[in-house]
Structure 1
Amino acid sequence: MATKQEEYLERDNLVVITDGTKPAMKWTIDELKKRNLTVHVVDLSDKPAPGSLTDIADLPETAENVIIGVTKTDPAKIIENLVSRGIINFWVHWKTDTSAVENLASEPGMDIITGKCPMMYLGKSMSIHGFHRAIARSLGKY
């Protein structure tokens, strides 16, 4: 049976929001694209990657599922902005969630994953993320 995280990463119309401070976000983008999923990247860094959006307002109407990995901005502010557009499905990268994110996660109708790195669920078995996944499974934390 697939975990909530595995199911989330099978969805289409994904948005990945990064500010360049979490290297796993680039790997996440690459892995999602390898799965032929529609991925919109919003790069809020000082040097955005070519082809990425630089403003959340530029996201298409079809965006539904958002993975956020930022440390320069409170992810809760991004979530609040996107909720006003009708988006309720979020994954806030491990070690970037805040108390404001946890408060939003407790609101009815919100679907927010916290405390997990997407690469734990996307990484190949022969990688550092695959090694971490094996440890997490053995400890019941997957």
Structure 2
Amino acid sequence: FGNGDSEMMIGYFVREFYGDNKTFQKMLREWIYQPGKAILFVSREKAEIIITQSRFHSTAFNDELRDIDTRWTIPISYTVNGIRNSSAFRSRDHSISIPINDNSSFSIDAPYGQLYSVYFTNPRMILGDDGK
């Protein structure tokens, strides 16, 4: 017996719960080895929701200083007009878009606040009342 390390933990979780899933291995490594926490910026552009991610930091709200190179694979649950959906924000993607009708309501269900935060560029868009 001895002390375990991060790679042993990743190997155990993947074997026990996900078979030999390389995507899950990659996701765990991103969360364990990359510093910081993700923040998702959510905006509405006509008939779609645009989600970008950045490292949560004091510079996260300054476009010129924002860290857009540190990204994580994030499972996202969201609701459109009361219907729950899910998607994966892969670390290789700069942004993801979700088609939505002009008068639809949208929200991200963030049950894992310790993993990422969500910032709506226009908070009224959660209620489908963003004037677009």
What's the TM-score bracket when you normalise by the shorter of the two chains?
A: under 0.3
Kindly indicate which of the two structures has a greater share of residues assigned to helix. Answer: 1
Bigger share in strand: 2
TM-score normalised over the length of structure 2: 0.25
TM-score (ref. length: structure 1)? 0.24
State the structure with more CA Rg: 2
